[in-house]
């Protein structure tokens, strides 16, 4: 039985149970004072909006250079994939794999994964709740690791300051990439995982 | 559904005897847990409760330790780079400044927040919450700060930053001479205490203590 069917709302912030008061507009949690809702308001619409914005920015994030390495007057712009290829050339396979997973696989997987979750909740796709909740937890957990590339740029820009000999500057691709990471993290937060179980129950009853 | 008879009764129990899973909305009887025990949702496996012994003093010690690490971790050099006799240094803070000066204001703000600003805010929120429980003052502010902390949780990215440092070292090690600094050791220290703190400070116990329930206070 779901808490919502018993007229009980869970506070999003402190997880306290509250009896639903149909009269009250903007009911607040009896323990911490946060607004309580049966489900996060407009969860699907908001998540779609964030996801689509992220998908649009995903294109410049991968095509534009994220940084330029200036060495002896020559500038070599590099994209995210370029950075991975460079690490492979150095023979640094494990680190190359980490960066490849964090910067290329994870953002792609997140975009596709959240879209799949939204789609399966809306269209009642044949994907079990267990599979969907596993995917949701994985997406929620892994999102932050895509920031690796942004931090690497910050470290390199600060360290490689040797004037004409060698210097590194950040480029617009980094802005787009950082936006994709933040937007997909926000999308994972706005998505209400209880929706996954809601339509599992209605499917079972049908 | 095999438990319809049970579930019709469930909604009539007083709220204190019920628990609901935050992630899948399953309603159940509240389990009675002793120290060191934890309960998971039977349907989706989300951790519902976990009770630990003397949470407040242990967490306070860890917060203070983390705050001691904070300044050296962020302002002492993480590494030094030698190229043909020239030396440059990098701290977490100098990375933020360098991005800002290269015209990437937005990214600089993001890096600042994720690696310095939010980790510090989180620690200060935790410190305030623990002090308000310990000294029994300002509980309502304690609740507010703990709510802020819950929202900030995901945005502190110390462990990701450490991984980035590793990647940067690998990228630079063939080009120039890299020396690791004392800042890196402090950063690792900060990261480890912070993770330990998050494991120790079990949210359910803190919320109950903030709301002033006697039995949960006795446990602390």
* pLDDT on residue A81: 87
* pLDDT on residue A204: 53
Tell whether B179 lies on the interface with A, counting CB pairs under 8 A. no
Q: Give helix A93-100 / helix B158-172 axis angle, nearest 10°.
A: 140
Test mutation, B26, B46, B107, B132, chain A, max A CBs within 10 A: B107
Same domain assignment for residues A127 and A157: yes
Same domain assignment for residues A89 and A165: yes
Q: Which long-range contacts (CB under 8 A, 24 or more apart) does B128-137 make?
A: B129/B206, B129/B210, B130/B56, B130/B59, B130/B60, B130/B63, B130/B201, B131/B60, B132/B210, B133/B56, B133/B206, B133/B209, B133/B210, B133/B217, B133/B220, B134/B56, B134/B57, B134/B60
Residues 6+ apart with CB under 8 A from B30: B16, B17, B18, B19
Is the per-residue pLDDT at A26 higher than 70? yes
pLDDT band at B213 (very low <50, low <70, confident <90, very high): low
pLDDT band at A126 (very low <50, low <70, confident <90, very high): low
pTM: 0.85
Q: Are A153 and B99 inside 8 Å of each other by CB?
A: yes
* pLDDT on residue A32: 82
Of B27, B111, B172, the CB nearest to A3: B27
Q: Give helix A43-63 / helix A80-89 axis angle, nearest 10°.
A: 50
Same domain assignment for residues A34 and A49: no
Q: Are B160 and A18 inside 8 Å of each other by CB?
A: no
**Mean pLDDT value across residues B153-159:** 90
CA distance A152 to A94: 16
Q: Could you tell me the residue range of the domain that residue A29 belongs to?
A: 1-38
Same domain assignment for residues A2 and A76: no
Is the per-residue pLDDT at B68 higher than 90? yes
Residue scoring higher pLDDT (A68 or A24): A68
**Cα angle, residue B116 at apex, residues B114 and B117 outer, rounded to 5°:** 80
Is the per-residue pLDDT at A203 higher than 60? no
Test mutation, B104, B145, B213, chain A, max A CBs within 10 A: B104
B169-204 residue pLDDT tens: 888 887 788 889 899 999 999 999 999 999 888 888
Same domain assignment for residues A89 and A159: yes
User: What percent of chain A stands above pLDDT 70?
Assistant: 95
Q: Are A148 and B167 inside 8 Å of each other by CB?
A: yes
Nearest CA in chain A to B168: A152
* pLDDT on residue A125: 66
Same domain assignment for residues A193 and A167: yes
Same domain assignment for residues A23 and A47: no
* pLDDT on residue B219: 47
Domain residue spans of chain B: 4-50, 55-212
**A148 contacts in chain B (CB < 8 Å):** 160, 163-164, 167
Residue A17, min C-alpha distance to chain B (Å): 7
Same domain assignment for residues A152 and A173: yes
Residue B85, min C-alpha distance to chain A (Å): 10
Of B90, B103, B174, the CB nearest to A158: B90
Same domain assignment for residues A31 and A76: no
**Mean pLDDT value across residues B88-112:** 91
Is the per-residue pLDDT at B217 higher than 50? no
**Mean pLDDT value across residues B75-81:** 91
CA distance B34 to B138: 28
Is the per-residue pLDDT at B77 higher than 80? yes
What is the ipTM metric for this complex? 0.85
Of B104, B144, B203, the CB nearest to A175: B104
Same domain assignment for residues A27 and A55: no
Same domain assignment for residues A22 and A85: no
Of B10, B150, B175, the CB nearest to A1: B10
Residue scoring higher pLDDT (B11 or B28): B28
CA distance B148 to B142: 10
Same domain assignment for residues A18 and A109: no
Q: What is the CATH number of the domain that holds A157?
A: 1.20.140
Nearest CA in chain A to B17: A17
Residue B98: how many CA atoms within 13 Å on its side-chain side?
25
Residue B214, min C-alpha distance to chain A (Å): 15
* pLDDT on residue B188: 95
CA distance B100 to B117: 15
Lowest-confidence segment of A66-70, B59-63, B111-115 by average pLDDT: A66-70
DSSP letters for A146-196: GGHHHHHHHHHHHH-B-TTSEEEEE-HHHHHHHHHHHHHHHHHHHS-THHH
* pLDDT on residue B13: 78
CA distance A192 to A132: 12
Q: Provide the domain count of chain A.
A: 2
> Beta-carbon neighbour count of residue B30 at 10 Å?
16
pLDDT band at A202 (very low <50, low <70, confident <90, very high): low
Tell whether B82 lies on the interface with A, counting CB pairs under 8 A. no
**Mean pLDDT value across residues A100-109:** 88
Residue B67, min C-alpha distance to chain A (Å): 22
* pLDDT on residue B216: 46
Of A1, A98, A149, the CB nearest to B7: A1
Q: Are B203 and A169 inside 8 Å of each other by CB?
A: no
Is the per-residue pLDDT at B5 higher than 50? no
**A12 contacts in chain B (CB < 8 Å):** 22
Is the per-residue pLDDT at B11 higher than 80? no
Of B18, B161, B163, the CB nearest to A17: B18
């Amino acid at each position: 039985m779901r808490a919502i069917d018993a007229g009980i709302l869970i506070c999003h912030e402190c997880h306290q149970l509250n009896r639903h008061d149909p009269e009250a507009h903007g009911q607040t949690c009896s323990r911490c004072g946060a607004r309580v809702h049966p489900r996060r308001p407009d969860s699907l619409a908001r998540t779609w909006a964030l996801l689509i914005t992220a998908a649009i920015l995903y294109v410049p994030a991968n095509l534009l250079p994220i940084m330029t390495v200036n060495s002896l007057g020559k500038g070599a712009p590099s994209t995210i994939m370029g950075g991975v290829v460079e690490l492979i050339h150095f023979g640094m396979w494990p680190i190359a794999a980490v960066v490849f997973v964090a910067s290329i696989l994870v953002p792609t997987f997140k975009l596709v994964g959240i879209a799949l979750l939204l789609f399966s909740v809306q269209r009642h796709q044949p994907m079990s709740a267990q599979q969907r909740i596993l995917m949701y937890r994985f997406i929620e957990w892994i999102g932050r690791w895509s920031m690796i590339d942004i931090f690497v740029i910050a470290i390199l820009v600060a360290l490689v300051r040797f004037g004409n000999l060698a210097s590194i500057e950040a480029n617009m691709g980094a802005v787009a990439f950082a936006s994709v990471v933040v937007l997909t993290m926000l999308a994972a937060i706005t998505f209400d995982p209880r929706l996954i179980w809601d339509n599992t129950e209605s499917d079972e009853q049908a | 559904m095999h438990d319809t008879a049970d579930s019709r009764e469930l909604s009539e129990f007083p709220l204190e005897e019920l628990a609901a899973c935050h992630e899948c909305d399953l309603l159940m009887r509240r389990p009675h847990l002793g120290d060191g025990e934890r309960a998971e949702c039977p349907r989706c496996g989300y951790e519902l409760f976990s009770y630990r012994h003397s949470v407040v003093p242990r967490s306070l010690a860890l917060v203070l330790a983390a705050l001691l690490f904070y300044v050296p971790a962020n302002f002492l050099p993480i590494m030094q780079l030698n190229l043909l006799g020239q030396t440059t240094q990098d701290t977490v803070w100098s990375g933020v400044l360098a991005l800002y000066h290269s015209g990437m204001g937005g990214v600089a703000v993001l890096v600042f927040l994720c690696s310095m600003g939010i980790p510090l805010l989180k620690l200060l929120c935790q410190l305030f919450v623990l002090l308000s429980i310990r000294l029994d003052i300002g509980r309502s502010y304690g609740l507010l700060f703990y709510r802020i902390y819950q929202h900030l949780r995901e945005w502190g990215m110390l462990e990701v930053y450490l991984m980035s440092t590793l990647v940067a070292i690998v990228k630079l090690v063939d080009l120039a001479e890299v020396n690791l600094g004392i800042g890196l050791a402090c950063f690792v220290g900060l990261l480890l205490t912070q993770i330990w703190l998050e494991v120790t400070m079990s949210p359910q116990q803190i919320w109950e203590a903030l709301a002033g329930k006697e039995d949960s206070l006795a446990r602390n």
